[in-house]
Amino acid sequence: MTEKSYIPPRVWTWDKESGGAFANINRPVAGPTHDKVLPVGKHPLQLYSLATPNGQKVTIMLEELLEAGKDAEYDAWLIRINEGDQFGSGFVSINPNSKIPALMDHGASPPQRLFESGSILVYLAEKFGAFLPTDPARRTETLNWLFWQMGSAPLLGGGFGHFYAYAPEKFEYAINRYAMEAKRQLDVLDRQLAEHEYIAGDEYTIADMAIWPWYGGVALGRAYDAAEFLDVGSYSNVQRWAKQIDARPAVKRGRMVNKAMGPLEEQLRERHDAGDFATRTQDKLQGAG
């Protein structure tokens, strides 16, 4: 059935997979599909995630906290979303929405569950007193941009990324619609970064950590194989900022945590200690095996 001939039914029913990437994990109901207890490591902070842009936000934040001398050691456990790990009973008990990342703070009393990446960033910033300004005006501006990302990125990923890179067929209307929106968002950022070193001003904050994995990834040609299509090089201020963030040591480490694709030397599928970056990347584990 072609795009033009499709007529929606009066009541939608789920009678077949939609096709395309991730079709095997899409379903119209919530809740667990199987019982699975999540592992718990030695640190108070237990992260269950995958190195998607949303997952990278939190691992970058945790690594930046450690870089800043904060006592933010953590265990990071790989959640393979393509295999449905996010629908296990243990994961659903932390995040009823079955999306990564999910975090447990066993150092809180009682232990605190956290889901939604923006909420996790704010929680960690307030817990450790870092990367979220205390001045009311600067704090508000940081939160403005954090929530801008939370509202805008689904149009970039689930909209443009899905129809351009992952859908089983290419639909001109959908690709044009979301390419226009993706470029508008890049222009929003480019104009902001023309006047400021970082997203929310002249201070590196959780707004940068939230926005960079999504829009920095697009600007640096790491997402959807769409750099030429979106002409990302024309956004010179976004390019400057994206490369500046990319060079940070904590960002380099944060991108590796819970990564299960790409070069083996960049994959630290589980992280339990700072030394793991030197000894437990996938190339070393496979070489030792």
pLDDT score recorded for residue 1: 43
pLDDT score recorded for residue 25: 84
Tens digit of pLDDT for each residue in 82-96? 999 999 999 999 999
Q: How many angstroms separate the CA atoms of 234 and 214, rounded?
A: 17
Q: How many angstroms separate the CA atoms of 171 and 163, rounded?
A: 7
- In this model, does residue 3 exceed pLDDT 60? no
At which residue do the structure tokens 């033009």 appear? 4
Fold for 136-252, please state it.
Glutathione S-transferase Yfyf (Class Pi); Chain A, domain 2 (1.20.1050)
pLDDT score recorded for residue 289: 61
pLDDT confidence of 4, banded at 50, 70, 90? low
Instruction: Round the average pLDDT of the chain to a whole number and report it.
Output: 95
pLDDT above 90 coverage of the chain, percent: 92
Computed from CA positions of residues 263, 82, 210, 239, in that sequence, does the dihedral angle turn out positive or negative? positive
Tens digit of pLDDT for each residue in 19-48? 777 777 888 999 999 999 999 999 999 999
Give the pLDDT mean for 199-206: 98
In contact, 104 and 58? CB cutoff 8 Å: no
Q: Which residue has the higher pLDDT, 288 or 167?
A: 167
37: which DSSP letter? Answer: P
- In this model, does residue 285 exceed pLDDT 60? yes
In contact, 251 and 212? CB cutoff 8 Å: yes
Give the pLDDT mean for 263-267: 98
- In this model, does residue 287 exceed pLDDT 90? no
- In this model, does residue 168 exceed pLDDT 70? yes
Give the CA distances from residue 80 to residues 87, 133, 236, 243, 253, in Å, rounded to whole numbers and listed in that order. 10, 34, 35, 29, 20
Tens digit of pLDDT for each residue in 62-73? 999 999 999 999
pLDDT above 70 coverage of the chain, percent: 97
In contact, 226 and 219? CB cutoff 8 Å: no
What DSSP line would sit under 57-71, residue for residue? HHHHHHHHHHHTT--
Q: What share of the chain is helix, strand, coil (3-state, %, to 5)?
A: 50, 10, 40
Neighbours of 41 (CB within 10 A): 18
What is the domain partition of the chain in residue ranges? 136-252
At which residue do the structure tokens 């070489």 appear? 287
Q: Which residue has the higher pLDDT, 135 or 1?
A: 135
Tens digit of pLDDT for each residue in 170-194? 999 999 999 999 999 999 999 999 9
- In this model, does residue 259 exceed pLDDT 80? yes
